[in-house]
Structures are given as C-alpha cells and as structure tokens.
RNA sequence: CGGGUGAUAGCGCAGCUUGGUAGCGCGCCUCGUUCGGGACGAGGAGGUCGGGAGUUCAAAUCUCCCUCACCCGACCA
C-alpha cells in the first residue's frame, strides 16, 4: 500500500521530522508565551519515568532532595561576577508584585547556586557537616532567543544538585561520580543512549565554574546534544556566599562546591537518538507504555475483546506497563500506526484467527519483526522481549554513533566529518584560533578526552583529544 | 537582537495581483457497509481570515502599526 508518509522522513528534513513526531505522537506543543512548552500526558509520563530512575540514582549517590524558592533576590546573582555575567542576558526579572513596584527586583531562578549557597552557608558550621549533598527537582527560566521544544525552552524542568565539600579533591571526585554513576549510567542503561563524557573547554564552561564535565550524545542526524553537565565550582560560590567550616584543628576553611543538572532536554535526546521514519521509539525501561494489547477485530459475542482485556490484565499483573486498545470501531491499521508513532516497544495483536489457535501476534517496534506467541507463554516472552529490545536499541545506537565518529588530523577534515557526525581531533591542532575556525563552520568542541577515553583533569592536558561536532 | 519568509477551520493549504456571499484536503461528529497495516459512501459540525488602526458604499484582499511563528547569523541544560 503506497500511502503518503505519515511523518516527514528523517532524511528529507530532520527538523521537520522532529516537529512531526512531537505533533503526531502528542508529545508537546508551544505554550502561549514564546519559548514556553506544554508537555502532553504521554510525554510527561515518560518524563516521570526519567525522574523516578534519576531520583533513585541521585539518592544512591548520597544526595538528599530539598526545595528552594523560585524567586531569587537580584543581588544574589551579582555576588559572583562570572555567574551574573553569564546569566544576565537570559534572566526573567520580576519588577512588580502586589500591584506595586518592588524595591528590589526579583529574578526567576535560572539555576539555584546562589540561593542554595546562601542556605548552605547557614547550615554548614563544622567539617562534620560535610559533605552536604543536596538536589532539587524544579522548573527554571532562561529567556531563550531561539526556542525549540524540549531542546531549548525558556522554562524547563530539571534536577539540580548542589553540594559542598571539604576539599577540592572531594569536590572533583563527586562531580565525576555524578557524571558516571548517575548521568552516564542512566543514559546508557535506561535511555539506551551511549554518551561521550569529557571535560568542557573554558569557553564552554558553566558561568562561575572552574571545570565543567558533560555527557554528549549523538542524534540520528549526526548532531551532538549535551545531555547533562556536572560542575566543579571551585571556591567561587563559597567565597561569594561565605560557605565555610571549622576543620579538625579549629581552623576556618572555605568549602569547595559542585553543581550538576539534567533536564527535559533529555526528552529531545530520547526522541532524536532513537526515533525513525515510523515515529518515536522508546526503550522499554523508560517507556511509560511498554506493550500495547490491541484488539484486531472482535467477534459477534465480544469474546475476542474480552480476551484482549484479560491478556492486558495478566501482563499488568506480571509487572508490564501495558495499555489495552480495544477501540475496534477505529480501523486496525490506523491504531497500529498510532502506537508505532508513539514508539511503544511491543505490540500484541489479538484477533479471532490468533485466538482460534491459542496464540497472539507479537510485533517489535524497533525491528518491525512479527511472530506468533502461544498464549500460555506470553508473559514470559514479553518480559524477555522487552529486555532484548532494550539491549538491541543500545547496541544499534552505539553502532550508529561509532560509525559516524571519525578520527581526523586537520581542521578541514574535522569540519567535513562534522557534516555527518563527530570528529576526534588532537586538541593541540585547535590552538591558535582553531576553535574559532571550527566555529565559522558551526562546529564546536563538545568535550575533551584523553586517548583512552578518560577525562583530563586540567585545561591543557597533554595529548587531549577534542570531540567536535555540530550541536543542538 | 539583525536579515529573509509567513500568519485564512484542530492540522496542511488555496483565495489576495484585479476589493463584492470564505473554500479545498486531512482530521472531527452521525448513519450504513467494512475491518489481520492509515477503509468506503452519504450526511453534518466547525472560521471575529493573527490583533489594532486607516482607505472605501464595500477589505481575507489595499496602507500603516503591533504580535506571533519558521529559516539564516551572535548565547545555552
């Protein structure tokens, strides 16, 4: 059946494809104010899964959740010179409240280092209070000039960790631990998205940080997406907010702070790292709906519909996040297509012909593979299939990324490679304006790694490799 | 914020040059026939033509201002 494609093929126009998926899979749309976003229930359910998995890892890393206010006194931001300089252009500032002009304007948090720093300062007295490991789930506002749903919106949801440590070594170790045990682990094992981790070059650092680490993922158009960052803030904020403690010898010391964040941008990464020409493709572990049981066609007695619902209930009882689609008044093909668009990993088709033989037809969303499964084996088979799809999606994504990542030895080659993917280039070759030269071709340094993939601990580590790409 | 393009039904668009009853496709509702990969027929609902001002007997159409969106350039999770 040669039908017009439901969504724009990726190869034809990737941004258009992204928009189509957002619309057709009912994920998100623009809010009434420029740059704002409405997250629709299906996408929000996936976000809730992300929150739940991330939150568990954050707690396992020792951090505790807390909540700090949305409104921040403007003067807090100004206490850290680089911080205020970095964020000023994108601040939303409240000048009126209660019908009157405020004596001091209040900013809507773009990030919470400053408010949290103020309270850390009060809460930390002794080395016994350290490390203080906090995290909050919140919305933040950064006025964006060119918003894109999920990827760059003026308001977004995120998690921001804020910690105070006794020494620089502890701070560095924790920033790295979060990057690996929380971020990389979550992205690889839950989102099935391989990431390059590494150190940001000074120009790309968080405003006020002495070191920024990041996770960089490759989207299916070969562009990079920064999926998470973890910062060493040195003593910059500790100094500005007087976050200090008395050590074992009774000496007054300044803390070393860190901060780290991941946001709803990960939704954009999920869509663009896995989605194909049939729509979204959600890895089973993060899927809000792992399997849909779809009634193909009922019989006069309604027995097939009853079986469909019973099968759904059995799978749910076995712990599968399942949805029953028994809306037989809508043509089967239409519903099948809709669930594919939404990226549900497993589809279980129940029709009279199947039931006559005590089986159902199971379809994998990732491969399109279709096969019969005996009813009495369904629960076990589905559980196994979900795991298989999860690992297969990760290997597919990894293979795609590695095939599009090349090692080069000149800026010209790097620019060429960045047209379709990532390039690894010795950082030395980018000295003397090389970064700017890349920039003229819209190519940026995503992060620095050492030859063995480990993270450099200084800005000009000998032998550092720059991972460069076009990026979102 | 600069340059370009645009805004007409939920979505995609025509109509504008040459002012004169607001249209098409998809989607939606009803009924019937269908139903194992986006079904078909008949009937129907749905629009202050982005907002405001102006020109005119008359404006979706002409003029001005504003707002918003998309693409391209300077910043970011």
A390 CB less than 7 Å from any atom of strand B:
no
A229 CB less than 7 Å from any atom of strand B:
yes
What is the average pLDDT across A321-341? 93
Q: How far is the CA of A385 from the C1' of B37 (A)?
A: 22
A34 CB less than 7 Å from any atom of strand B:
yes
Q: Which residues are paired to A100 by β-bridges?
A: A97
Cis peptide leading into residue A131 (ω within 30°): yes
Sorting pLDDT into bands at 50, 70 and 90, what band is A1? very low
Which nucleotide in the DNA or RNA is closest to residue A363, CA to C1'?
A: B37
Contact A195, A449 (CB under 8 A): no
Which domains does chain A show, CATH number per domain? Answer: 14-274 (3.30.930.10), 291-385 (3.40.50.800), 405-469 (3.30.110)
Sorting pLDDT into bands at 50, 70 and 90, what band is A187? very high
What is the structure's pLDDT at A208?
Answer: 94
Q: How far is the CA of A325 from the C1' of B51 (A)?
A: 43
What is the structure's pLDDT at A428?
Answer: 93
Produce one character per residue of A23-39: b if its CB has 16 or more CB atoms within 10 Å, e if not.
ebbebbeebeeebbbeb
Q: How far is the CA of A86 from the C1' of B75 (A)?
A: 9
What is the structure's pLDDT at A234?
Answer: 97
Which nucleotide in the DNA or RNA is closest to residue A336, CA to C1'?
A: B37
What is the average pLDDT across A38-66? 96
pLDDT in tens, A136-157: 999 999 888 778 889 888 889 9
pLDDT in tens, A385-435: 999 999 999 999 999 999 999 999 999 999 999 989 999 999 999 988 889
pLDDT in tens, A53-105: 999 999 999 999 999 999 999 999 999 999 998 888 888 888 888 888 899 99
Which nucleotide in the DNA or RNA is closest to residue A32, CA to C1'?
A: B68
Using the C1' atom of nucleotide B39, identify the protein residue whose alpha carbon is closest: A331
Q: How far is the CA of A20 from the C1' of B31 (A)?
A: 33
Q: Which of A69, A68, A75, A143 is nearest to A105 (CA)?
A: A75
What is the average pLDDT across A174-203? 97
A2 CB less than 7 Å from any atom of strand B:
no
Enumerate residues 6+ apart whose C-beta is below 8 A from A291. A315, A320, A321, A322, A323, A344, A345, A346, A347, A348, A382, A386
What phi, psi does A292 have (nearest 5°)? -115, 130
Cα separation of A343 and A271, whole Å? 9
pLDDT in tens, A258-283: 999 999 999 999 999 999 999 999 99
Cα separation of A455 and A324, whole Å? 47
Contact A460, A428 (CB under 8 A): no
Q: Which two tokens stand for residue A210?
A: 């002495």
Enumerate residues 6+ apart whose C-beta is below 8 A from A392. A366, A367
Separation in Å, CA A232 to CA A171, A199, A200, A208, A338: 7, 11, 11, 9, 45
Which nucleotide in the DNA or RNA is closest to residue A354, CA to C1'?
A: B36
A118 CB less than 7 Å from any atom of strand B:
no
Enumerate residues 6+ apart whose C-beta is below 8 A from A62. A131, A133
Which nucleotides of chain B does any protein CB come within 7 A of? 1, 11, 34-39, 68-77
Separation in Å, CA A93 to CA A70, A106, A153, A302, A430: 11, 6, 17, 60, 39
A227 CB less than 7 Å from any atom of strand B:
yes
A128 CB less than 7 Å from any atom of strand B:
no
Sorting pLDDT into bands at 50, 70 and 90, what band is A3? very low
What is the average pLDDT across A230-239? 97
Enumerate residues 6+ apart whose C-beta is below 8 A from A87. A77, A110, A111, A142, A207
> Of residues 7 to 26 in chain A, which lie within 7 A of strand B by their beta carbon?
7, 15, 23-24
A439 CB less than 7 Å from any atom of strand B:
yes
User: How many CA within 13 A on the CB side of residue A49?
Assistant: 22
Strand pairing report for A291-295 and A346-350: parallel
What is the structure's pLDDT at A101?
Answer: 87
Contact A325, A294 (CB under 8 A): yes
What is the structure's pLDDT at A89?
Answer: 83
Enumerate residues 6+ apart whose C-beta is below 8 A from A1. none
What is the structure's pLDDT at A251?
Answer: 96
Name, of A37-41, A193-197, A303-307, A428-432, the range with top average pLDDT: A193-197
A200 CB less than 7 Å from any atom of strand B:
no
> Of residues 251 to 280 in chain A, which lie within 7 A of strand B by their beta carbon?
261-265, 278
Q: Position of tokens 């000048």?
A: A95
pLDDT in tens, A453-463: 999 999 989 99
Mean pLDDT for all residues in chain A: 93
What is the structure's pLDDT at A2?
Answer: 32
Sorting pLDDT into bands at 50, 70 and 90, what band is A318? very high
Strand pairing report for A244-246 and A224-232: unpaired
């Amino acid at each position: 059946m040669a039908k017009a494609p439901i969504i724009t093929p990726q190869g034809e126009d990737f941004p258009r494809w992204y928009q189509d998926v957002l619309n057709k899979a009912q994920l998100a749309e623009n809010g009434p104010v420029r740059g704002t976003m409405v997250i629709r229930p299906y996408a929000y359910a996936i976000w809730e899964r992300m929150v739940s998995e991330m939150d568990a890892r954050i707690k396992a890393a020792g951090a505790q959740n807390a909540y700090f206010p949305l409104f921040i006194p403007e003067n807090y931001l100004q206490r850290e010179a680089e911080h205020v300089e970095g964020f000023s252009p994108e601040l939303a500032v409240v000048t009126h409240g209660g019908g009157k002009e405020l004596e001091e304007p209040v900013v809507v948090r773009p990030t919470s280092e400053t408010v949290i720093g103020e309270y850390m300062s009060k809460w930390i007295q002794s080395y016994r209070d350290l490390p203080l490991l906090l995290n909050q789930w919140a919305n933040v506002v950064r006025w964006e000039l060119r918003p894109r749903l999920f990827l760059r919106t003026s308001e977004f949801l995120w998690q921001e960790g804020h910690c105070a440590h006794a020494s620089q070594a502890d701070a560095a170790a924790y920033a790295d631990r979060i990057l690996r045990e929380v971020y990389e682990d979550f992205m690889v094992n839950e989102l099935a998205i391989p990431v390059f981790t590494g150190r940001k070059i000074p120009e790309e650092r968080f405003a006020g940080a002495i070191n920024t680490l990041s996770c960089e993922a490759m989207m299916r158009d070969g562009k990079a997406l920064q999926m998470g960052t973890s910062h060493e803030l040195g003593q910059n904020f500790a100094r500005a907010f007087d976050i200090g403690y008395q050590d074992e010898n009774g000496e007054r010391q300044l803390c070393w702070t860190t901060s780290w964040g991941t946001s709803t941008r990960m939704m954009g990464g999920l869509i663009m790292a896995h989605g194909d020409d049939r729509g979204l493709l959600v890895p089973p572990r993060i899927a809000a709906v792992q399997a849909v049981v779809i009634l193909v066609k009922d019989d006069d007695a309604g027995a097939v519909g009853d079986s469909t619902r019973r099968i759904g209930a059995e799978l749910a009882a076995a712990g599968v996040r399942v949805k029953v689609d028994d809306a037989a008044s809508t043509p089967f093909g239409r519903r099948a297509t809709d669930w594919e668009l939404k990226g549900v990993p497993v589809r279980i088709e129940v029709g009279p012909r199947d039931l006559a033989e005590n089986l159902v037809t199971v379809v994998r969303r990732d491969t399109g593979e279709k096969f019969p499964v005996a009813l009495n084996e369904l629960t076990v088979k589905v559980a196994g299939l979900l795991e298989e799809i999860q690992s297969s999606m990760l290997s597919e994504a990894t293979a795609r990324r590695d095939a599009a990542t090349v090692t080069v030895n000149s800026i010209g080659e790097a620019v060429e490679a960045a047209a379709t993917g990532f390039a690894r280039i010795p950082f030395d070759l980018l000295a003397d304006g090389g970064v700017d030269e890349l920039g003229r071709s819209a190519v940026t340094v995503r992060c620095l790694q050492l030859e063995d993939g480990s993270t450099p601990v200084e800005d000009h580590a000998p032998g550092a490799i720059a991972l460069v790409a076009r990026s979102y």
